[in-house]
């Protein structure tokens, strides 16, 4: 069974600090990795995807992938109160349309 694990939190981070969100996955065949943000009462929206080992940066967000250790992380620099949300890690385990396996999400709170 494909599993994606995240710490549910809440993770509390002071405004302006770096928030670090982690995710592990069970299927070594996983190829693509996604981070979604979900505000309360809203639908998930894509923040970043990554499919190569290493770091990928987009503005204040950096995704990190380590396939050997089967983990992916998301760093948010200069955290803002508007970053307070639930962050969902999603993994594609082999391509094709049967799609993504989601973690249960980490609830992030940015303290002003």
Partner 1 sequence: NAGVTQTPKFQVLKTGQSMTLQCAQDMNHNSMYWYRQDPGMGLRLIYYSASEGTTDKGEVPNGYNVSRLNKREFSLRLESAAPSQTSVYFCASSEALGGSQETQYFGPGTRLLVL
For position 53 contacting partner 1 by CB under 8 A, the verdict is no
Q: How far is the CB of 4 from partner 1 (least distance, A)?
A: 8
From the number of C-beta atoms within 10 Å of its C-beta (0-12, 13-18, 19+), residue 75 rates as middle
- CB count within 10 Å of CB 37 equals 21
| Rounded CA separation 59/39 (Å) | 20
Site for partner 1 in 3-32 (CB under 8 A): 8, 31-32
Distance, CA of 91 to CA of 50 (rounded, Å): 10
Total chain residues near partner 1 (CB under 8 A): 24
Give the residue with the Cβ less far from partner 1, 96 or 112.
96
Binder to partner 1 among 42, 58, 81, 111 (CB under 8 A)? 42
The dihedral region occupied by 105, where left means phi > 0, alpha psi between -120 and 50, and beta the remainder, is left
In the shown chain, the binding pattern of residues 74 to 103 toward partner 1, with x for contact by CB under 8 A and - for none, equals --------------x-x-x--xxxxxx-xx
Binding site for partner 1 (CB under 8 A): 8, 31-32, 34, 42-46, 49, 51, 88, 90, 92, 95-100, 102-105
């Amino acid at each position: 069974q494909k599993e994606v694990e995240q710490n549910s939190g809440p993770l509390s981070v002071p405004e302006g600090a770096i928030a670090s969100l982690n995710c592990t996955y069970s299927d070594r065949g996983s190829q693509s990795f996604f981070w979604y943000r979900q505000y309360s009462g809203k639908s998930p929206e894509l923040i970043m995807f990554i499919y190569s080992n290493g770091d990928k940066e987009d503005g204040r967000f950096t995704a990190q992938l380590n396939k050997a250790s089967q983990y992916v992380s998301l760093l948010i620099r200069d955290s803002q109160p508007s970053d307070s949300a639930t962050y969902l890690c999603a993994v594609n385990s082999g391509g094709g349309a049967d799609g993504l396996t989601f973690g249960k999400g980490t609830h992030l709170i940015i303290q002003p």
